[in-house]
Structure 1
Amino acid sequence: MMSVAPGALMAQDDPVSGGAPQEAVDEVDEIIVTGQPERGAVIGEIEPEQQLSPADVRALGVTSIAEIITELEPQTNGTPIILLNGKRISSFSEIRDIPSEAVARVDILPEQVALSYGYAPTQKVVNIVLRQRFRSEKAELELGTTTEGGRDNAEIEAGLLRIRGDDRFSLDLEYSRAARLLESERDIVTTPSSRPYALGGNIAAGMSGAEVDPALSALAGQTVTVAAVPGSAASGAPSLADFVAGANVAAVTDLTPYRTLNPATENFSANATLARALGGVSATINGRLELSENDSLQGLSTAALGLAAGSPFSPFAQDVTLYRYLGQGGALGQQIRGTTGHVGVTLNGQIGRKWQWSFTGNGDLSITRTRTDRGIDTDAIQAALDAGDPSVNPYGDFAPGLLANRPIDTARAKSQAVTADLLVSGALFRMPAGDVMTSIRLGASANGFESRSVRSGVERSTDYSREIGSGQVSLDVPLTSRSKGVLGGIGDIGVNLNIAAQQLSDFGTLSTLGYGLRWQPIRAVQILASANQDRAAPTGAQITDPLISTPNVSVFDYATGQSVFVTQLSGGNAALRESVRDQFRLSARVKPFEKPNLTLTATYLNSRTTNPIAAFPTPTPDLEAAFPQRFLRDADGNLIQVDARPINFLRSQSEQLRWGFDLSIALKSHIQKVIEAWRASGSRPEDRPKELDDMRAAFGRNRAQGERPAGQDGAPPAGDSGERAGSGRDNAGPGDGGERPRGPGGGGFGGGRGRGDGQGGGRLSFSLYHTWHLEESILIAPGVPELDLLNGDATGSSGGQPRHEIKARVGYSNNGLGARLGVDWESGTHVDGALDGSSRLEFGSLATANLRLFANLGQMPSLVKNIPFLRGARVSLRVDNIFNQRREVRDATGMTPLRYQQDYLDPLGRTISISFRKLFTPNFGGARAGG
């Protein structure tokens, strides 16, 4: 064992003479009693689909549990349910900031495991098992930018963590900010307005398309319907001849410096967690505070000023309209300020030997404030022009008093919730094939929602409350068992049944019914099938969010085949109804052999939903015919407003097959090879390799591999238990390594029961997942053709549903150096509009690659020996979208619509960030390593 995990020598030295940082102490075996569950294992007989050891976690190149969950998205296929040490947590904020070095094991489990913890079986479960003992302080700085310029960002984080068995304390502070990215910093071509606005101004007739003035047409030699205002007009009244040069050549203003592609953001969060073992109960309290700011620019204020025929500034014989952008007012802005507070409590305990209980309680408060500039009210300017005031030049700058009235829309949304949840689970009775397991969950919550908005001077308010009582019961019944000799020839078979109900004060009773089958014909194969029907009510936010009006939002109007800027309405919809979903899921996991570790998984999912709740889809002619009240057009048929608040579709159907594999190959580190060679030669102190001397010098140790502690008369020194590191005791301090995962397949992702598999060394890993969408359709409303998202229809601005999606990951980690490459690919789609196919859009396929390079400097003894500060240090370089790929969109003529310019679809493109993190891990004797 010592030759497999050379870092174990650091855990045996004199505790008062210094200690190795976390990175220097690799994972070693703990004593596992055959037939007993692993520490922190989940309830039930369902085995993990995958199991990650500390070496596997290091190979991910991540620094926190939050990053682990993000990096495992291909394996979890979305947001999973998170457990800690096989127990429920009040919320993810309890553990999100814990350093990845404190993780002893990660189990990825199928959806059916969620039933044992009182959740719906619709999400995978990730169980995080922490080390039994860990202490550290951390400081991290990250800087990033885009290779095309703009959007610089920075993040700084500091935290501390203490783990000793069930006792835990953590505190994390984080601040980040990112600069805004303007359209002018990218190759954006301004979408023409439906009206001829410009900073200098354009003159048009009162009726769209009509002649401005016959006399001007005679001077220009053509019928003039629009004329650019001459520059000289800003300082005095122009003549008719001054407009000849701009006849039918409308002035155009580049608005890209006044609009943001990405807003400026600033965020601060503080997160603290305290866990204590109180008798036979483990108690945890968590508090989190988040403050956020978001500032965006929405273009310039517009003015359509009427000039009468007798105006001193109008040389025209009839009334005309002047269209101007009012640059004096500056860019229109939208500011969003958010405050979020959370308090969570978790209690876990045992009832006898076979029952356990869990209580979670949460209190949440969220306040969002939005201010949106509507532009300058031009009534005062128009009144002065109508009065013939010679001091008010409509083409020049206006007096500040005329610009003083600047209406602002405001909105404030407040939500608060208190929830409590009690889960009791355990064995009801024993059958020949095993225990019949049950879980019983009872929950209650009180929710309040308040919103206030002022739009165009009209105030609206909503006060809404919802109380919920809920309950869920699940049974897991084993029918056959190989180990117990009950029809073992057909393998292990178990069935489960779950029933749940919610009583909502505003929606009545909503029920859920489901059942499932588990079959493990041989140890290497596990097959799961489940079916469930659940009813869900819209959230309070979906009902009560205040009405917000955002100007100058770019959309593609399929009815005209043009990109236009519209005012978009967002907020809640009080008319939303409950949805009913029927799901069938069939999944299989195969682990054909132990080394190398290979896991094959496949999942078939069929989902049918009645009254699904969704954001308002892309404005197609069929949709506009079904919901005419959601669209507003001007007299010329130009789309000027879209109400994008959520709606209920009539029905949706989804069918997909997702399959893939994970392969993990253990690698021996350089130091492991050195130690093995030294041991093979007799382990003589005089032949000790230089690398081990460097480790002693770097980490303050007083002996080399294989030597006994230098205590009096050969006894272990004071404070040393004399036990081997990794024996399950905590004498090893922060680098005790904890447990070796024991999975169904052994080694790598699957863990392994044997020794000598390089558990403490490096990893070479591969994963590939392919999702094949067999059906994706939506029936929006009666009388509207069904939308086939795979064949020409869409509900969003990014096209239809790609039929094929692929996620691939390749990782390498050894000797302190690592790299991880991720590639995501989606097949192309198309959207058929109106105009006899002339507005058909082709969305090309898209492949993006992301690369992360990292160096755990604390795992490089020679470097740490020369620069002790680097003990516990890590440097990471990340490049997202390496090849700067963006989706290509073409219309029927082969051109890219202005709305679908590539810099609109992905403003950032390639981004680069570099981070430096330092873990100040205490020595065994209480001193601080590295500082």
Structure 2
Amino acid sequence: MTGQVSATRQSGLSDTDSSQQSLGGTLSANRKLLTLPAGPVIVNLFTQASRSRTTTMIGGAEQAFSGHNVNLGATLSVPLWRTPSPGQGSVVSHALGSLSATLGGNVRQTDAGQGKGVNAGLSWLPLGKFRLTGNWSRSTDSVSDAQRFAPEYYGAPITVFDFVTGQSAEVLPILGGTPDLRPPRFDRVALSALAGPFLPWNVAGSVSLQRSNAANSAGPLPAVTPELEAAFPDRFRRDATGRLTAIDQRPINFASTRTESLASNLGASFPLGEAAPGKPRGTLRLTLNHNLQLRNVTTIHASLPPMNRLVGDGGGVPRQQLDVQVDGRRGAWGLNMAARWRSGYRTRRDTGRDSAGDLRVSPVGTIDLRFSYVLQRAIRPSQSGVTPRRGAGIQFGLDVINVFDARPGASLGDGRPAPGYGRDDQDPVGRAVRLFARSRF
């Protein structure tokens, strides 16, 4: 069971006070149905249920909506064959390894509508430390209650590049729900290869090719281009001088969205120093994740051409992203580093061609560091002789966020600096230093 109470206050052109209460629960069970020569057939059942209420006070008027979510699902795991024990079976049976299949489905019901889905998967282990998997799913998702019923309000100001005027503008995003959203449909396929762990350092890696086709997926307009403003004039608000003042970012349905990506992962653990008697040895964990976008094409509706987001149509997206995570621990001391990098990308002014008025966003990378020390509490037996539960102690730490003070930058298609991408426009904070103390009671 989980519960949450939260409150949010925002001051500005649109003063808002919002509070939310939610309560949810999850129940799962599994049971062996029968035993095949390759192993037992297992059925897993689960149900999730939640209810929430959100109250928002805007301009002295109270708006409230409640929502519920019920999700029922089942998965069947079937072993098809397995590797014989050493000394048994033929050479062919050993070469085939182990193969298992999963079949599943779920039904979801909310105030905003109903969703359902089916999925299937295969997992093959040709060798002990190699695994090949394939997964397919098809689903119709229900629109979330917030996407459909949330009241309209102004969000925090954002700086955008206005292709119509060729200047940057600080605008107010209009947020909230869209009552007439249609439920999205998804078809997803993923093929993965995993290997490891190897060597004393537990080196392991994986590669995964993922493809997704969606119809009626919901989201905000991707960019402030003249083409999109002409197609959705009521979504863009300008003053008498033509300056952009607000953008309606409430969700709309996209006719279709097709994406393909290649994700890879590599991880290893290294021991630090010699283990002292009664104390664990220190460790250093290194993880690298890389994502390469192979395809990203969106069609908003039939009157607009398909937008290839990777070349900049309808708002560009980075083609590559790299994340590096380092986690070290020795005794009471800890060190964590998170490095993130994304490639540059272009946003075209006009769909289908590059021009001098395009926006070219530069690559950017950031590094965050955390140093920590755990002060353990002394453990004393109680008068009854029972040793109390060991606590986590008090953790003291220092966070340095964006160590090198990197800021996003951009230029126009002809090389001129892009308005709205100065040092303090997109990220006015930059580097930040934070001290903290944390304890569990």
**TM-score interval, smaller chain:** 0.7 to 0.9
Distance in structure 2 (CA, Å) of the matches to 1:465 and 1:872 = 40
Name the counterpart of 2:311. 791
Distance in structure 2 (CA, Å) of the matches to 1:821 and 1:551 = 30
CA distance 1:836–1:449, shift in 2 (3 Å): same
Whether the aligned pair in 2 keeps the contact of 1:611 and 1:651 (CA below 8 Å) is yes
The structural deviation recorded for 1:892 is: 3.5
Distance in structure 2 (CA, Å) of the matches to 1:519 and 1:836 = 46
Larger relative strand fraction: 2
The structural deviation recorded for 1:629 is: 2.4
Counterpart selection for 1:823 from 339, 349, 362: 339
Letter of the aligned partner of 1:811 in structure 2?
Answer: D
Gaps of 5+ in 1: 1-89, 92-286, 298-332, 345-360, 362-420, 676-704, 706-758, 860-870, 921-931
The TM-score with structure 2 as length reference comes to 0.84
Whether the aligned pair in 1 keeps the contact of 2:184 and 2:218 (CA below 8 Å) is yes
Name the counterpart of 1:849. 367
Distance in structure 2 (CA, Å) of the matches to 1:445 and 1:912 = 38
CA distance 1:856–1:829, shift in 2 (3 Å): same
Whether the aligned pair in 2 keeps the contact of 1:480 and 1:488 (CA below 8 Å) is no
Name the counterpart of 1:832. 348
Name the counterpart of 2:36. 431
CA distance 1:548–1:294, shift in 2 (3 Å): closer
Q: What is the aligned residue count?
A: 421
The structural deviation recorded for 1:289 is: 3.6
Larger Rg belongs to: 1
Letter of the aligned partner of 1:913 in structure 2?
Answer: R
CA distance 1:451–1:856, shift in 2 (3 Å): closer
CA distance 1:770–1:504, shift in 2 (3 Å): closer
Name the counterpart of 1:884. 405
The structural deviation recorded for 1:900 is: 2.4
1:770 aligns with 2:290: yes
Distance in structure 2 (CA, Å) of the matches to 1:836 and 1:515 = 42
Whether the aligned pair in 2 keeps the contact of 1:453 and 1:546 (CA below 8 Å) is no
Q: Secondary structure at the match of 2:425?
A: helix
Distance in structure 2 (CA, Å) of the matches to 1:634 and 1:451 = 28
The structural deviation recorded for 1:343 is: 4.3
The structural deviation recorded for 1:566 is: 4.1
The structural deviation recorded for 1:780 is: 1.2
Whether the aligned pair in 1 keeps the contact of 2:347 and 2:358 (CA below 8 Å) is yes
Whether the aligned pair in 2 keeps the contact of 1:477 and 1:494 (CA below 8 Å) is yes
Whether the aligned pair in 2 keeps the contact of 1:626 and 1:781 (CA below 8 Å) is no
The structural deviation recorded for 1:596 is: 1.8
Letter of the aligned partner of 1:801 in structure 2?
Answer: V
Distance in structure 2 (CA, Å) of the matches to 1:624 and 1:481 = 58
Whether the aligned pair in 2 keeps the contact of 1:554 and 1:566 (CA below 8 Å) is yes
Name the counterpart of 2:82. 481
CA distance 1:831–1:288, shift in 2 (3 Å): closer
The TM-score with structure 1 as length reference comes to 0.42
Whether the aligned pair in 1 keeps the contact of 2:228 and 2:314 (CA below 8 Å) is no
Larger relative helix fraction: 1
Mapping of 1:208-357 within 5 angstroms? 287-295=3-11, 297=12, 334-344=14-24
Distance in structure 1 (CA, Å) of the matches to 2:47 and 2:375 = 49
Whether the aligned pair in 2 keeps the contact of 1:850 and 1:882 (CA below 8 Å) is yes
Counterpart selection for 1:532 from 134, 137, 152: 137
Distance in structure 1 (CA, Å) of the matches to 2:77 and 2:239 = 62
Name the counterpart of 1:603. 208
1:805 aligns with 2:326: no
Once the two structures are superposed, residues 508-555 of structure 1 have per-residue CA deviations (whole angstroms, 9 ceiling, x without a partner) of x53211100011112211222100011112211111111224696543
Once the two structures are superposed, residues 323-342 of structure 1 have per-residue CA deviations (whole angstroms, 9 ceiling, x without a partner) of xxxxxxxxxx5544343434
Name the counterpart of 1:380. none
1:541 aligns with 2:146: yes
Whether the aligned pair in 2 keeps the contact of 1:794 and 1:801 (CA below 8 Å) is no
Report the identity percentage. Answer: 27
Distance in structure 1 (CA, Å) of the matches to 2:185 and 2:200 = 45
Whether the aligned pair in 1 keeps the contact of 2:112 and 2:143 (CA below 8 Å) is no
Letter of the aligned partner of 2:360 in structure 1?
Answer: E
Letter of the aligned partner of 1:890 in structure 2?
Answer: S
The structural deviation recorded for 1:624 is: 1.5
Whether the aligned pair in 2 keeps the contact of 1:450 and 1:544 (CA below 8 Å) is no
Distance in structure 2 (CA, Å) of the matches to 1:447 and 1:875 = 35
Once the two structures are superposed, residues 29-84 of structure 1 have per-residue CA deviations (whole angstroms, 9 ceiling, x without a partner) of xxxxxxxxxxxxxxxxxxxxxxxxxxxxxxxxxxxxxxxxxxxxxxxxxxxxxxxx
Distance in structure 2 (CA, Å) of the matches to 1:564 and 1:530 = 45
Whether the aligned pair in 2 keeps the contact of 1:449 and 1:544 (CA below 8 Å) is no
Whether the aligned pair in 2 keeps the contact of 1:829 and 1:844 (CA below 8 Å) is yes
Distance in structure 1 (CA, Å) of the matches to 2:238 and 2:407 = 32
User: What's the RMSD between the two structures over aligned residues?
Assistant: 3.2
Distance in structure 2 (CA, Å) of the matches to 1:293 and 1:613 = 26
Name the counterpart of 2:385. none
Distance in structure 2 (CA, Å) of the matches to 1:468 and 1:915 = 36
